[in-house]
Amino acid sequence: MPPAASRARRALLLGGAALALQPLARATERPNTLAPWQPARPPRLQVVDLETEQPRTLADFAGHALVVNFWASWCAPCRAELPSLNAAADRFAARGLRLLAVNHGEMPERARRFLAEVPIHGTVLLDRSLSQLPAWGGHGLPASFVLDRRGRPRYRAFGELDWLAPAALAALEDAVAG
């Protein structure tokens, strides 16, 4: 991971538009931080599995704590957080945590080319409609959402995270225990 000061300068990318990390008037929480997440409605996921090309929903992962991470190959902050995100997913995998990496709007060929270079330790899903990120309340990339093993929304983060930082590990611990 880059040093914190460098991370703080990184852009949060919105479908092509760069958003500075501070101040984000539209966001109610600080960027680059896992914050408690209480959506008005339970989140729904309508995506396609990159590997099987089959539709997937949250029901397919019932019983698992989840990190739903929205990313794209062109998003530098997404790439930057992947090493720590992969490491965190590995660390909690035995306790039921699953990483759902939702590609935002790209075609399978592009996603596969990226994954050949930068592996993701989770299930890679495609949202070619570009509809899921805004439906989950995201307005830039990367965006991450944590649900506990009962499927309850717990935390969300906009922008690149250090997933091995104590606060992030505590949040994941909370999710797998939930």
Tokens matching residue 82? 């992947």
Q: Are strands 98-104 and 123-127 parallel, antiparallel or unpaired?
A: parallel
CB of 23 vs other proteins, minimal distance in Å: 5
Q: Which is nearer to other proteins, 17 or 170 (CB)?
A: 17
CB contact at 8 A, 178 and 154: yes
In the 8-state DSSP scheme, what is residue 42?
-
Q: Which is nearer to other proteins, 12 or 101 (CB)?
A: 12
CB of 24 vs other proteins, minimal distance in Å: 7
Residue for token digits 């935390």?
Answer: 155
Q: Which is nearer to other proteins, 53 or 94 (CB)?
A: 53
Residue for token digits 């990318």?
Answer: 13
CB of 113 vs other proteins, minimal distance in Å: 8
Q: Which is nearer to other proteins, 75 or 146 (CB)?
A: 75
Point out which residues bind other proteins (CB under 8 A).
Answer: 11, 13-20, 22-26, 48, 53, 74, 76, 105-110, 126, 128-131, 139
CB contact at 8 A, 84 and 164: yes
